[in-house]
Amino acid sequence: MQAITIQPSNERTLKLIKDLEELELLKIISTPNSTSSKKKKSLSNILSGSISKKEADDLNAQVKKMRSEWERNI
């Protein structure tokens, strides 16, 4: 059978297509260029540059201070 590409216009359409698959009238095939298979950006890339260098240094200093205050009974 011939494969075709479709783009549902809304969630209702997508549900109808999934219902057709459940009735075994069609088969959904994932493709490499589909949105669900695209690489997601890492959190570090998304947040990069969200705070200034000075703010980051201040936060690091506070974390180091808090860690040094912990009691270590290992």
Query: Which tops the pLDDT comparison, 20 or 48?
Result: 20
Task: Please report the pLDDT score of residue 18 as a whole number.
Answer: 92
Task: Please report the pLDDT score of residue 71 as a whole number.
Answer: 72
Q: Residue 68: what are its φ and ψ, rounded to 5°?
A: -75, -20
pLDDT digits (tens, 9 = 90+) for 22-65: 999 999 887 655 554 456 788 888 888 888 999 999 999 999 99
What are the distances in angstroms from CA 32 to CA 18, 22, 35, 39, 73? Answer: 19, 23, 9, 10, 52
